[in-house]
Amino acid sequence: MMQPYTHSLERFFKAMVTRLVGPMLFIALLAPTAWAAEPVKISSLQTYPESYKMKVVQVEGIVSGYQMHHFIGNNTKLEKCIQDFMVEDGTGTIQASYAALCQMGPVMLRDGDEVTLEGHYLGTLDVRAVKKNN
């Protein structure tokens, strides 16, 4: 007698999981690409470095002193593009580095680009996402 109840309860849970897993997976995949809420002024990073240390911050500014370095991994043999540059926002200047696999088509920068950067602040900015604003 208990089997029909158990069977319908099992169907209910399977239906709930099916309905919830898709949207939750979509949100989980989107989360790493979401931008931080508000840009931080570079002068604030330099004035209060301990407050931002190891935190993800967003900075807007203009690229200068751009340099590109290519590096091939020993184990994977994949080519990495490492872009080192300075970014200036009118309140200060900070060094930034953006590393990505060249094959994945990273955003390529050049001097004078207006950008929004997101990355970990370690005294310099370890960039994980770049958006050109011009």
Q: Say what the pTM is.
A: 0.69
CA 1 remoteness from chain centre: 55
Longest dimension (CA), the chain: 77
Q: What is the pLDDT of residues 125-134, one digit of tens each?
A: 999 999 999 7
Pair (55, 10) in one structural domain: no
pLDDT number for residue 129:
94
Pair (68, 41) in one structural domain: yes
Q: Which residues fall within 8 angstroms of residue 91, CB to CB, at 6 or more apart?
A: 41, 42, 43, 44
Q: What is the pLDDT of residues 34-51, one digit of tens each?
A: 555 689 999 999 999 999
Residue 38's nearest CA partner among 120, 116, 127 is 116
Number of structural domains found in the chain: 2
CATH number for the domain including 45? 2.40.50.140
pLDDT number for residue 73:
76
Pair (68, 8) in one structural domain: no
Mean pLDDT over 102-116 rounds to 91
Q: What is the pLDDT of residues 63-73, one digit of tens each?
A: 999 999 988 87
Pair (7, 51) in one structural domain: no
